[in-house]
A and B are shown apart, each in its own frame.
Chain A
Amino acid sequence: SQKIEQNSEALNIQEGKTATLTCNYTNYSPAYLQWYRQDPGRGPVFLLLIRENEKEKRKERLKVTFDTTLKQSLFHITASQPADSATYLCADMGHNTNAGKSTFGDGTTLTVKP
C-alpha cells in the first residue's frame, strides 16, 4: 500500500544550526509533497510544497528538496530558533485514482535548544 514515512520521531538541535527532517514514500510516486507545522493542541499549518520534477524550493529560512531516485523529500530549517520548535508533518494530497485522498506522515518533533 502507499505509505509516507517520517524516519525520526524527535530531533533535538542547538539554536543556529540547520535542522534536516526526512520524509520517505513507498509503493507510489506522489505528484507533490507538502510540509506542515503543528504546535501542541493546534491544527497543522501549511508551510510549503514541492512538485516531483522540482529539485528544490525555498521560502525564507525553509528549504525543501524532492529526490525521486531516493523516493525522499528533505525539509531544512536554517539558522534555527527556539520558536521553530514544533512537530513537522509531510503529506500527499493524492492524485489520479486517489485524487483528494490525503495521506500524512507521523511527523517529526523538532526541539531547538537555546
Chain B
Amino acid sequence: DGGITQSPKYLFRKEGQNVTLSCEQNLNHDAMYWYRQDPGQGLRLIYYSQIVNDFQKGDIAEGYSVSREKKESFPLTVTSAQKNPTAFYLCATRGGQGPNQPQHFGDGTRLSIL
C-alpha cells in the first residue's frame, strides 16, 4: 500500500516535555514537509526537506526540530520551547522539484497539552 503514514493519530504532551511526531513514506519522494494547522486556519510551513540530510526552516520553525537521515522518514520534534503546541500537524511529500508538482499528505497527528 503506497502512501504516507503519520503516527500517532493523537498525542498528549506534558508541560516541559519534548515529543516526536513520526512521518514515514513509501512513495520514493525526495521532498518532505511539515505543517501546522490551527482550527479554522490554513497550513503553516514548519520545516521542509528537498533531499536526504538537508532541510530548511519554514515560516514558523521556532520551537521545532527535524531530521532527515533516511529518504523514507522525516520526524518532527516539538520541543518545550514551543509554548503553544496544541494543533493539527500534517506531513506531506512531493515527487519532484518543479512548482507544478503537487503535494501528497498524511492524515495528521493531533497534539494536545495535558
Q: Which A residues lie at the B interface, using CB under 8 A? A: 6, 9, 30-32, 34, 36, 41-46, 49, 51, 89, 91-95, 99-107
Contact = CB atoms under 8 A, between A and B. Distances in A.
Interface string B61-91: 0000000000000000000000000001010
A105 B45 CA distance: 11
Given A43-B90, A93-B99, A99-B97, A105 B42 contact: yes
Interface of B (DSSP majority class): strand
B58 A101 contact: yes
A46 B45 contact: no
Given A43-B90, A43-B92, A46-B103, A104 B108 contact: no
Interface residues of B, number: 30
A95 B99 contact: yes
Given A44-B43, A89-B43, A93-B99, A100 B104 contact: no
Among A31, A43, A44, A103: residue with most chain B CB under 10 A: A43
A104 B102 CA distance: 12
A contacts with B: majority SS: loop
Interface of B: 4, 31, 33, 35, 40-45, 48, 50, 56, 58, 88, 90, 92, 94, 97-108
